Chain A
Amino acid sequence: MSHQNLNFRAAEISIPEIFDACFEPIGKSGWRSNIVIFLSLCAIAAAGVAFAGQMYYGLGQTGLHIPVYWGVYIITFVFWIGVAHAGALISALLRLCGAEWKSAVTRVAEVITLFTLPAAGSFPLIHMGRTELFYYMLPIPNNRLLWPNFKSMLMWDVFAVSTYLTGSVLFLYVTMVPDLGIARPRMKGPIKTIYTLLAWGWRGTAEEWKRVMEAASLYSVIILPVVISVHTIVSWDFAMQVVPGWHSEVFGPLFFVGALHSGTAAVFTMLGLLLWTYPSFRKLITPVHYDMLGRVWLVLMLAWAYLFFNDFMPAYYAHEPDKMDYLYYNAFGPYAAACWFLVIGNFALPLFCLAFQEFRRSVLPMFVLSIIVNIAMYIERVFIVIPGLEVYNGLTFNTIPYTASVTEITIIIGTFGWVIGGLTFFCRIFPILPYWELAETKARQVDVDLAGVKVAYFHMGE
Chain B
Amino acid sequence: MSASHESATHRQWGMTIDVDRCTGCKSCVIACHAENNVAVVGAVESAMGRIVHWLRIEPIHHGTYPHVHMDFIPMLCQQCGTAPCESVCPVFASVHTHDGLNAQIYNRCIGTRVCANNCPYHVRMFNFRPPQWPEPMNKMLNPDVTARSEGVMEKCTFCVQRIRRGELDAKIEKRADAERALTPTYDGEIRPACVQACASEALVFGMLSDPDSTVSKSLARNRHRSVLVHNEHDTRPNVVYLRPDRNPDVLEPANLPVGQQQHHATEAHATPEASPSPAATQSPTATQSPAGSPTSVGSPSIDPTPSYPTATPRVTASPSAAVSVSPSPVATP
CB atoms of A and B under 8 A apart anywhere in the complex?
Answer: yes
* Chain A residues with a Cβ under 8 A of chain B: 57-60, 62-67, 69-70, 124, 127-130, 133-134, 136-137, 146-149, 151-155, 158, 237, 240-244, 321-322, 325, 328-329, 332-334, 389-401
Q: Are B330 and A329 in contact (CB under 8 A)?
A: yes
A contact residues around B255 at 8 Å (CB): 321
Instruction: Given the known inter-chain contacts A66-B125, A397-B56, A400-B48, please indicate yes or no for A149 contacting B92, CB distance below 8 A.
Output: yes
Query: How far, in whole Å, are A127 and B126 apart by their CA atoms in the complex?
Result: 13
* Residues B40-82 near A (CB distance < 8 A): 45, 48-51, 56, 58, 73, 75
Q: Are A69 and B116 in contact (CB under 8 A)?
A: yes
* Residues B315-333 near A (CB distance < 8 A): 315-321, 325-330, 332-333
Q: Which of B91, B150, B325 has the most CB of A within 10 A?
A: B91
Query: How far, in whole Å, are A242 and B109 apart by their CA atoms in the complex?
Result: 21
Q: Does B165 contact A (CB under 8 A)?
A: no
B contact residues around A394 at 8 Å (CB): 315-319, 325-326
Q: Are A389 and B48 in contact (CB under 8 A)?
A: no
Q: Are A137 and B91 in contact (CB under 8 A)?
A: yes
Q: Are A240 and B109 in contact (CB under 8 A)?
A: no
Report, as a range, how many residues of chain B touch the other chain.
35 or more
A contact residues around B151 at 8 Å (CB): 58-59, 128-130
Q: Does B90 contact A (CB under 8 A)?
A: yes
**A62: nearest chain-B partner, CB-CB:** B128
Q: Chain B, 104-117, contact with A by CB distance < 8 Å: what is the 0/1 string?
A: 00001111111011
B contact residues around A243 at 8 Å (CB): 117-118
Query: How far, in whole Å, are A124 and B332 apart by their CA atoms in the complex?
Result: 31
- Distance between A247 CB and nearest chain B CB, rounded to angstroms: 10
Q: Chain B, 287-316, contact with A by CB distance < 8 Å: what is the 0/1 string?
A: 000000000000000000000000000011
User: Which one of A129, A148, A389 lies within 8 Å of B127 (CB-CB)?
Assistant: A129
Q: Are A129 and B91 in contact (CB under 8 A)?
A: no
The B contact surface, by secondary structure, is loop
- Distance between A18 CB and nearest chain B CB, rounded to angstroms: 49
B contact residues around A151 at 8 Å (CB): 87-88
Given contacts A66-B125, A129-B109, A395-B325, 16 further A-B contacts (CB under 8 A): A59-B111, A66-B49, A67-B49, A128-B112, A130-B151, A149-B87, A149-B92, A151-B87, A242-B118, A243-B118, A321-B316, A325-B319, A333-B330, A391-B329, A394-B315, A399-B328
B contact residues around A129 at 8 Å (CB): 109-113, 126-127, 150-153
Instruction: Given the known inter-chain contacts A148-B90, A154-B88, please indicate yes or no for A395 contacting B150, CB distance below 8 A.
Output: no
Q: Does B122 contact A (CB under 8 A)?
A: yes
**B60: nearest chain-A partner, CB-CB:** A395
**A152: nearest chain-B partner, CB-CB:** B90
Q: Does B233 contact A (CB under 8 A)?
A: yes
Instruction: Given the known inter-chain contacts A66-B122, A129-B111, A397-B58, please indicate yes or no for A58 contacting B128, CB distance below 8 A.
Output: yes
Query: How far, in whole Å, are A242 and B49 apart by their CA atoms in the complex?
Result: 22
Q: Are B122 and A395 in contact (CB under 8 A)?
A: yes
Query: How far, in whole Å, are A137 and B153 apart by their CA atoms in the complex?
Result: 16
A contact residues around B188 at 8 Å (CB): none
Query: How far, in whole Å, are A158 and B110 apart by their CA atoms in the complex?
Result: 14
Can you spell out 8 A-B residue pairs with CB atoms less than 8 angstroms apart? A58-B130, A69-B113, A154-B88, A240-B88, A321-B316, A394-B318, A395-B326, A399-B332
Q: Does B89 contact A (CB under 8 A)?
A: yes
**B53: nearest chain-A partner, CB-CB:** A397
**B323: nearest chain-A partner, CB-CB:** A394
Q: Chain B, 227-242, contact with A by CB distance < 8 Å: what is the 0/1 string?
A: 0010001000000000
A contact residues around B330 at 8 Å (CB): 325, 328-329, 332-333
**A155: nearest chain-B partner, CB-CB:** B90
Q: Are A58 and B108 in contact (CB under 8 A)?
A: no
Q: Which of A63, A66, A137, A392 has the most CB of B within 10 A?
A: A66
A contact residues around B332 at 8 Å (CB): 334, 399, 401
**A129: nearest chain-B partner, CB-CB:** B111
**B111: nearest chain-A partner, CB-CB:** A129
Q: Are A60 and B319 in contact (CB under 8 A)?
A: no
B contact residues around A60 at 8 Å (CB): 45, 50, 128-129, 150
B contact residues around A147 at 8 Å (CB): 92
Instruction: Given the known inter-chain contacts A322-B318, A395-B315, please indicate yes or no for A149 contacting B112, CB distance below 8 A.
Output: no
Query: How far, in whole Å, are A369 and B168 apart by their CA atoms in the complex?
Result: 69
- In order of increasing CB-CB distance, the 5 nearest A-B pairs are A129-B111, A394-B317, A129-B151, A65-B49, A69-B113
Q: Which of B87, B113, B130, B332 has the most CB of A within 10 A?
A: B113
Instruction: Given the known inter-chain contacts A396-B122, A397-B58, please indicate yes or no for A152 contacting B89, CB distance below 8 A.
Output: yes
